[in-house]
Amino acid sequence: MIFYDSPNPAPNPRRVRIFAAEKAIVLDTREVSIVRREQKSPEYIAINPRGQTPSLQLDDGTVITESVAICRYLEARQPDPPLFGTSPLEIAQIEMWSRRVEMILMASVGAVWVNTHAFTAALPGRNAEWGEANRPRVEAAFRLFDESLAGRGFLATDGFTMADILLLTTVDFAAFVGCGAPADCAALTAWHQRVSARPSAAA
Amino acid sequence: MIFYDSPNPAPNPRRVRIFAAEKAIVLDTREVSIVRREQKSPEYIAINPRGQTPSLQLDDGTVITESVAICRYLEARQPDPPLFGTSPLEIAQIEMWSRRVEMILMASVGAVWVNTHAFTAALPGRNAEWGEANRPRVEAAFRLFDESLAGRGFLATDGFTMADILLLTTVDFAAFVGCGAPADCAALTAWHQRVSARPSAAA
């Protein structure tokens, strides 16, 4: 099993690294440099035709792409500690909060990144007005998560789950992009310090 | 358990209806009219503060929102027939294809819908240029799924899964929005006819 990874600030490969670290799974890793555009090289396109990282190549050659799909594969292979829940309600709550992170926060952060950031200036079809219009949406999303975390230890359940991994990697990527959380989001900040102190966050 | 539903063409509630129909689960349903803006009424906001459908209210009052989260709750409560997979590889492949439907196709269809359609003209912050720029992205996404379905019965595995439900509801919503699949996408069209012939598709 080979894990095709890219270093920070790429947020999606980091999701898998944190997930694996929480389960003490050691991945046989190959690094794919986004800065050097190695994800678009013929060698990598042969593995993942979409030219994105991460990818997980199984021993029979089957390739799984999409960070959350790779995490679900690892969870099914090694259920403990469970990060996608075990009871019907936990499973639903983790999915609900994971989707909120991706659709409400990450979609807006991505729009700012792709349409306004200096590092993506060469991408075709940029729309600066659309990118700028997403900055207040990012802020509104951060305030939603701040309110949701008030008085709670973790985002979806009583414990650390995939939803926390998605929020942590998104918060850190948003800061890199220059649209980080407002300073007065106290519950979000406290949660961020808490989950960032876990050894897995160094992944 | 009460299911808060909205009629077609709303694509997200339909996902849950098809999912439940495949499992022969009969839901105790309350209809929320999007046309009459009932999803923004004080009564419904008290159930789901985000003012969106669908929602599932459990007997203890707990509310699960987000269509896929509701489906995962139903799957965990009634595993047969499995629609999210049972083996690690199936689970990963269904998640991978589900995410591709949502992030590559549905995100672009949604951008066309929200930024260009007559029915959404009153929404604030519309960007017509961004909406129009998404039309070729919708077409490119349809061609990706067409290629992926060539020689295959279903999208993610050998059987009908959640990934097929997501693609079916997205294809039909795209047609409603006026950015349906290109006529020459033969494999996609054949798949669409096949899954539309299942009794659950009438949901």
- pLDDT tens figures, A128-149: 999 999 999 999 999 999 999 9
- Could A72 and B58 be called an inter-chain contact, meaning their C-beta atoms sit closer than 8 Å? no
Question: Taking CB atoms and an 8 Å cutoff, what residues of chain A touch B95?
Answer: 66, 68-69, 72
Element (H, E) at B183: none
- pLDDT tens figures, A70-129: 999 999 999 999 999 999 999 999 999 999 999 999 999 999 999 999 989 888 889 999
Question: Taking CB atoms and an 8 Å cutoff, what residues of chain A touch B127?
Answer: 127, 129-130, 133
Q: Per-residue pLDDT for B180 more than 90?
A: yes
Stretch B194-203: mean pLDDT, rounded? 97
The Cβ of residue B119 has, within 10 Å, a number of other Cβ atoms equal to 13
State the Cα angle at B26 between B67 and A72, rounded to 5°.
40
- Could A76 and B88 be called an inter-chain contact, meaning their C-beta atoms sit closer than 8 Å? yes
Question: Would you state the pLDDT for residue B175?
Answer: 97
Stretch B7-30: mean pLDDT, rounded? 97
Stretch B63-88: mean pLDDT, rounded? 98
Burial of A44-66, coded b for 16+ CB within 10 Å and e otherwise, reads beebbeeebbbbbbeeeeeebbb
Q: For an interface test with B, which of A56, A73, A93, A161 has the most B Cβ atoms less than 10 Å from its Cβ?
A: A73
Question: Taking CB atoms and an 8 Å cutoff, what residues of chain B touch A88?
Answer: 73, 76-77
Are A73 and A56 in contact by the 8 Å Cβ rule? The answer is: yes
Give the closest-approach CA distance of A166 to chain B in angstroms. 14
Question: Would you state the pLDDT for residue A33?
Answer: 96
Question: Taking CB atoms and an 8 Å cutoff, what residues of chain A touch B100?
Answer: 66
Looking up tokens 């959404």, which residue turns up? Answer: B120
Is A87 an interface residue toward B (CB < 8 Å)?
A: yes
Are B157 and B94 in contact by the 8 Å Cβ rule? The answer is: yes
Residue at B65: amino acid letter: T
C-alpha torsion B83→B52→B42→A88, nearest 10:
30
Stretch A157-173: mean pLDDT, rounded? 98
- Could B66 and A100 be called an inter-chain contact, meaning their C-beta atoms sit closer than 8 Å? yes
Residues in contact with A93: Cβ distance below 8 Å, sequence separation at least 6, in sequence order: A85, A156, A157, A163, B64, B69
Question: Would you state the pLDDT for residue B97?
Answer: 98
Question: Taking CB atoms and an 8 Å cutoff, what residues of chain A touch B77?
Answer: 88
- Could A99 and B125 be called an inter-chain contact, meaning their C-beta atoms sit closer than 8 Å? no
Is B93 an interface residue toward A (CB < 8 Å)?
A: yes
Is A66 an interface residue toward B (CB < 8 Å)?
A: yes
Of B58, B69, B96, the CB nearest to A64: B96
Please tell me which residue of chain A has the smallest CA distance to B86: A76
Q: CA–CA distance from A17 to each of A20, A54, A177 (Å)?
A: 5, 10, 21
Please tell me which residue of chain A has the smallest CA distance to B65: A96
- Could B127 and A133 be called an inter-chain contact, meaning their C-beta atoms sit closer than 8 Å? yes
Binned at pLDDT 50, 70 and 90, residue B67 comes out as very high
Q: Per-residue pLDDT for B124 more than 90?
A: no
Domains of chain A and any CATH numbers? 2-77 (3.40.30.10), 88-202 (1.20.1050.10)
Stretch B59-86: mean pLDDT, rounded? 98
- pLDDT tens figures, B91-119: 999 999 999 999 999 999 999 999 999 98
**pLDDT > 70 fraction of chain B, expressed in percent and rounded:** 100
Of A68, A70, A88, the CB nearest to B73: A88
Per the prediction, chain B carries an average pLDDT of 97
Binned at pLDDT 50, 70 and 90, residue A29 comes out as very high
Question: Would you state the pLDDT for residue A124?
Answer: 87
